[in-house]
Amino acid sequence: MTRDFAQQLKTWRGRRRLSQLQLALEAEVSARHIAFLETGRARPSRAMVLRLGDALDMPRAERNLLLDAAGFRAAYGQRSLDDAALEPVRKAIAHMIRGHMPYPAFVFDRHWTILDANDSGLTMLGGFGLSQGQSFLEFLLQPDRGAELVENWEEVAAHLASRFRLESAHLGGDALLERAAAALARQGGETAHLPSADLPPVVPVRFRFGGEVYPMFSTITQFGTAEDIALADIKIEMFFPADVATETLFARMAGVADL
């Protein structure tokens, strides 16, 4: 069991590209102790395992595995969003996405499955042939769908590829996100290799609707203090208009006279 813990610790340190000294500084222990933990010469306490998980910014599910490898019970649960204990969270999510009207807002899980959306978001999904419970990743990977719906698809595809790679890296590697990132990077073409100095402050998504183009940008919100595995993976993406014509479009769709 100690060997399993030692190997997992060493693997995650490698994924975060930290030396033993760097990890020791992050965890506020000696580099010698880290070396002993990785060789099995020292056995960690439960508190030490949790401290190392924090220092390595490990996902909560992986911290549970690290605890198990060290012989301790799991620290983090995994509830469904409809669990009674998460009622305050559901109310908070509903408040956020409904309050974002008339602009679209969506709720996604780790793999970008659509968990919920406000009315404008549902209208937008309907126009794309999508509905709650479907995978946004699978939708994006359909041949020519991205280019059909987004005018600046190569730019957006390259941006999404980078985002999915970062999310996969945080998780310690995720096959679905990596597959999506690779496919989108190919669709992004040369745009994926632009130097950072050429990037705008935000990457607008220039959606095509009814023969017109409507630019939007988005923000993503996550629960920073989540201790539940599934809750920590939830993302709330809210889109904003990037010009007056897009403001007008969504105001008209929602029956709002003035914004």
174 lies in the same domain as 236: yes
Q: For residue 171, which of 16, 2, 48 has the smallest C-alpha distance?
A: 16
Q: pTM score, two decimals?
A: 0.84
Residues 143, 212, single domain; the answer is yes
Give residue 192's pLDDT. Answer: 47
CATH number of domain containing 42: 1.10.260.40
Distances from the Cα of 77 to the Cα of 64, 115, 234, angstroms: 9, 20, 15
> Does 88 map to a domain?
yes
**Whether the predicted pLDDT of 110 surpasses 70:** yes
Segment 223-236 shows an average pLDDT of: 88
Segment 73-92, tens digit of pLDDT: 999 998 888 889 899 999 99
Q: Which domain holds residue 32?
A: 2-69
Percentage of the chain modeled with pLDDT above 70: 92
**What average pLDDT does range 1-7 have in this prediction?**
77
| DSSP track, 137-172 | HHHHTSTTHHHHHBTTHHHHHHHHHHHHHHHHHHTT
Same domain? 33 vs 152? no
Judgement on whether residues 106 and 51 belong to the same structural domain of the protein: no
Query: Would you state the torsion angle of the CA atoms of residues 172, 174, 177, 183, taken in this order, to the nearest 10 degrees?
Result: 100
Residues 28 and 138 in one domain: no
pLDDT in tens, 244-253: 999 999 988 8
CA 41, distance to chain mean position in Å, is 37
**Same domain, yes or no: 181 and 60:** no
pLDDT of residue 199: 53
Instruction: Work out how many domains the chain is built from and give that number.
Output: 2
**Judgement on whether residues 171 and 226 belong to the same structural domain of the protein:** yes
Q: What's the CA gap between 83 and 16, in Å, rounded?
A: 33
Same domain membership, residue 100 and residue 40: no
pLDDT (average), residues 146-161? 90
CATH number, domain containing residue 202: 3.30.450.180
Domain for residue 99, yes or no? yes
